[in-house]
Structure 1
Amino acid sequence: MKKLGCLLLICAFASLTVQFGFIDARPTTSVDLGKILFSDPILSGNKKISCASCHKEEFAFADTAALSLGVNNLKGTRNTPSSMNLALQVSFFWDGRAKTLEEQALMPIENPIEMNLPISAAVKRLQANKFYRNAFKKIFNEEPNRKNLALVLADFERTLETTDTPFDDWRMNDNQDAVSESAKQGFLLFNGKANCIQCHFGPDFNNVEFRAIGLYDGKKLIDSGRAVVTKKPTDLGKFKIGPLRNIAITAPYMHNGMFKTLREVIDYYDDPDKIVPNPITRDSLLAKPLKLTETEKIDLENFLISLTDKRYTLKKP
């Protein structure tokens, strides 16, 4: 009987370990709790998917599908962006409809295609769950509610920053061997002939602006982007300029996932007319072909690969 009791105790402990992803499943901080909830399907209507279902850690918290599947295998309308390197951003989602990470954290839960669970219902679930009720009380001295649910998820996302890349090792530590000569030439192209720096700059190689790069033609490409939020004709086809860190492992690319590889993205920017000949709107920065050579395209791609955090790759670009 003693052995049976011990066995049952071990099984229960193992179940808790598997459910929450680590042995000590007693969160003591908002970040700890947010990490657990990020991977818990309790926040979806059918209790089958979680935030982590579409934001996969092994792919820099992005997805490998052009359009992710939500509850009941419903297909989304836009590509899942990475949840990494969000701390310095000032708007979220491709159209910028959320102004804070707290706003962003709750929207997918309520979205009928994604997780399909009203926040009021999510809160009731957490309040009825002994583990979560106790965890929220311990950390916030109150039961789960809309505000602290948004906070724990946002706090966890704020920890997903990356600066340990070959590029940073080269530029910040002056380690000349950290990247290849090709990647170094690619960085020069990024800042020069390719003019990527015009839109992608700063510590995360992003921008607070929204730009129309020509992926809205009103026919096959019908997502009007930022205009969905602002209702302004001048915002037709504009989308958020996202960070480039870890870009090499977050394929497919663009708001609709239309490009499967970095090379396809580079080819598009080199000569957009070859891919989308008659867009309704396109930024003037893309008015003329870049005329990159084959070697230059390779160099530019190698530079982008050098922005990959070392936790994902130890290969020199």
Structure 2
Amino acid sequence: MTIKLNVDALRQQYSQPQSSWPSVITADNEKAEPLAPLTPKAPLGSATLIKLGKTLFHDPILSSDKTISCASCHNANTLFQDGRGQSIGVDEQKGERNAPAILGIDHWESFFWDGRASTASQQALMPIVNPIEMNLPIPEALKRLNNSRAYQAKFNEAFGTLPITADMLATALVEFERSIPAPSTRYQRFIREVASDPTNAHTLFTDNELLGLHLFRTKAKCMTCHEGALLSDNEFHVTGFHLYGRRFEDLGRVNATSNNEDIGKFRTPSLLGVTHTKPWMHNGLFVEFTPMIMQYNAGGFRPKPRGKFKHNPHFPETTALIQPLGLTKSEISALVDFLHTL
């Protein structure tokens, strides 16, 4: 009876505008961005430009051996990622990280796990030249495109000018990526209804899913890092999975900034469509929700420096934002059920 009464109270609270919901609880007591539908921040490009971008995205002509396309690691059937712990490039080379899902391009303030690209246009060309991804210099890519009568016609139709330039190539790819819609999920429907008429939006969730939403916003403190339309704070944090000094070491953001304070930091991923984007973490460490949540519930992974690293001043320390949560088994179950709606 107590559980039912609690759920009845939650349904009453979550039938109100979001501003009247129970207050969000964060680990640092900072205000979190409200939940919101994921939509482009600016009008999309023309249908012709988007179609061109889609063609380029799926064409292996942009890889050195013409075997790999952008779509090889960003599959439309799995939210534009590949389901691998580490993605595979030309010559079957395995990278160090997995391919993030492509969504909400307008909402990101940086790109890649380490944020080495600051704009979508910059990011669009980097996999093409990366030696373990597509391994094709941009001048060679442009030469191939400019030597193609089909691509000359497509670019001329989209841009009204030739020859094809790097900016034109990046723009076409980005406009296609911007056109990729938010995952078609109950959560997206729920948050759209909350924005227009919240009265019955909560009925889209089961009791356990609604409790999971409440925990996500409160006791579990998930919105410390997973906030707003993107369910990401666009920040970089040490979550303890850097394997510093070990075989599969990945130093994260420091590779982009050369700032030792960034050792072991990775960008907060979006949780949208998370059911379809496993394996999770930059290295694909987790494939099930419950063990992952239990790790955070226990206070996170906090490797300690040992041996020759014991007095290393640069050994990354797991962020203080991750602390024991005290979630019960039933609360973890509710949180998992909510994640499945995202």
TM over 0.5: yes
Matches within 5 A, 1:162-177: 162=182, 164-173=184-193, 174-177=200-203
CA distance in 2, matches of 1:126, 1:263: 47
CA distance in 1, matches of 2:255, 2:268: 16
Q: Which deviations, in whole Å up to 9, do the C-alpha atoms of 1:137-184 show, x marking residues without a partner?
A: 111122321110000001111111316421233343233331211111
Counterpart residue number, 1:294: 329
Counterpart residue number, 2:241: 215
Unaligned 5+ runs, structure 1? 1-26, 308-317
Unaligned 5+ runs, structure 2? 1-45, 194-199, 306-315
Shift of 1:272: 4.9
Matches within 5 A, 1:263-282: 263-272=290-299, 277-278=303-304, 280-282=316-318
Shift of 1:267: 2.0
Counterpart residue number, 2:251: 224
CA distance in 1, matches of 2:213, 2:252: 29
Counterpart residue number, 1:117: 136
CA distance in 1, matches of 2:96, 2:192: 39
2:130 maps to a residue whose letter is N
Shift of 1:186: 0.8
Asked whether the equivalents of residues 28 and 138 of structure 1 are also in contact (C-alpha less than 8 Å), the reply is no
Any idea what SS the aligned residue of 1:211 has?
Answer: strand
1:268 maps to a residue whose letter is Q
CA distance in 2, matches of 1:71, 1:247: 27
Normalising by structure 1, we get a TM-score of 0.84
Counterpart residue number, 1:126: 145
Query: CA 1:116–1:245 in structure 2 vs 1: closer, same or farther (change >3 Å)?
Result: same
Any idea what SS the aligned residue of 1:176 has?
Answer: helix
Pick aligned residue for 2:224 from 170, 180, 198: 198
2:326 maps to a residue whose letter is K
CA distance in 2, matches of 1:139, 1:210: 37
Asked whether the equivalents of residues 183 and 273 of structure 2 are also in contact (C-alpha less than 8 Å), the reply is no
1:203 maps to a residue whose letter is A
CA distance in 1, matches of 2:329, 2:78: 28
Pick aligned residue for 2:267 from 240, 245, 260: 240
Matched, 1:69 2:88: yes
Asked whether the equivalents of residues 87 and 161 of structure 1 are also in contact (C-alpha less than 8 Å), the reply is no
Counterpart residue number, 1:156: 176
Asked whether the equivalents of residues 225 and 237 of structure 1 are also in contact (C-alpha less than 8 Å), the reply is yes
Q: Which deviations, in whole Å up to 9, do the C-alpha atoms of 1:42-75 show, x marking residues without a partner?
A: 1110001100001011110011110011001000
Asked whether the equivalents of residues 242 and 264 of structure 2 are also in contact (C-alpha less than 8 Å), the reply is yes
For this pair of structures, how many residues does the alignment match?
279
Query: CA 1:265–1:115 in structure 2 vs 1: closer, same or farther (change >3 Å)?
Result: same
Asked whether the equivalents of residues 60 and 250 of structure 1 are also in contact (C-alpha less than 8 Å), the reply is yes
CA distance in 1, matches of 2:53, 2:119: 16
Any idea what SS the aligned residue of 1:29 has?
Answer: helix
CA distance in 2, matches of 1:212, 1:166: 31
Matched, 1:37 2:73: no
Matches within 5 A, 1:75-90: 75-90=94-109
Query: CA 1:111–1:189 in structure 2 vs 1: closer, same or farther (change >3 Å)?
Result: same
Counterpart residue number, 1:186: 212
CA distance in 2, matches of 1:196, 1:82: 20
* Bigger relative CO (Cα 8 Å, ≥ 6 apart): 2
CA distance in 1, matches of 2:141, 2:299: 44
CA distance in 1, matches of 2:232, 2:302: 24
Asked whether the equivalents of residues 227 and 235 of structure 1 are also in contact (C-alpha less than 8 Å), the reply is yes
Query: CA 1:277–1:291 in structure 2 vs 1: closer, same or farther (change >3 Å)?
Result: farther
Matched, 1:285 2:321: yes
Root-mean-square deviation (CA), in Å? 1.7
Query: CA 1:205–1:28 in structure 2 vs 1: closer, same or farther (change >3 Å)?
Result: closer
Give % identity. Answer: 39
Asked whether the equivalents of residues 202 and 210 of structure 2 are also in contact (C-alpha less than 8 Å), the reply is no
Asked whether the equivalents of residues 86 and 161 of structure 1 are also in contact (C-alpha less than 8 Å), the reply is no
Query: CA 1:276–1:63 in structure 2 vs 1: closer, same or farther (change >3 Å)?
Result: farther
Asked whether the equivalents of residues 79 and 256 of structure 1 are also in contact (C-alpha less than 8 Å), the reply is yes
